[in-house]
Amino acid sequence: KQEVTQIPAALSVPEGENLVLNCSFTDSAIYNLQWFRQDPGKGLTSLLLIQSSQREQTSGRLNASLDKSSGRSTLYIAASQPGDSATYLCAVRHGGGNKLTFGTGTQLKVEL
């Protein structure tokens, strides 16, 4: 059974700091991994999708890496801003279909 863990559970940083969020998964036989952002009481916003054959993806100030063999992914946020405050979720997909297994998220607060 696939298990996804995200560390830390919560993080508070000053504005402008670069930060790394971690995601680990127990079954390395994945199709892809997707990072999401969730604001309180809202739905999920897709940030980055990494296919199993890729090592990393970049979008603006965000960079996600994937090391499938070790079961790890990181989300790097450069020059953090207060608007980045949200919960960040990683999810892995394995097998056919659209079943994602999610971690419990990292709650990020960027302070002025």
Partner 1 sequence: ETGVTQSPTHLIKTRGQQVTLRCSSQSGHNTVSWYQQALGQGPQFIFQYYREEENGRGNFPPRFSGLQFPNYSSELNVNALELDDSALYLCASSLEQGHGELFFGEGSRLTVL
> Under a CB-based contact definition with an 8 Å cutoff, are residues 71 and 91 in contact?
no
- Which residues, other chains included, contact 8 with Cβ-Cβ below 8 Å and sequence gap of 6+? 22, 106
Selected from 43, 60, 83, 112, the binder of partner 1 by CB under 8 A is 43
Residue 66 binds partner 1, judged by CB under 8 A? no
- For the CB of residue 79, give the shortest distance to partner 1 in the complex, in Å: 25
The least distance separating partner 1 from the CB of residue 36, rounded to whole angstroms, comes to 7
Pull the structure tokens for residue 5. 């863990």
Q: 93 forms bridges with which residues in the sheet?
A: 32, 100
Told to check if 88 binds partner 1 by CB under 8 A, we report no
Question: Residue 86 Cβ, how far from partner 1 at the closest point, in Å?
Answer: 14
Please work out, in degrees rounded to the nearest 5, the angle formed at the alpha carbon of residue 40 by the alpha carbons of 98 and 4. Answer: 40
Binding-site ranges for partner 1 (CB under 8 A): 4, 31-32, 34, 36, 41-46, 49, 51, 89, 91, 93, 95-105
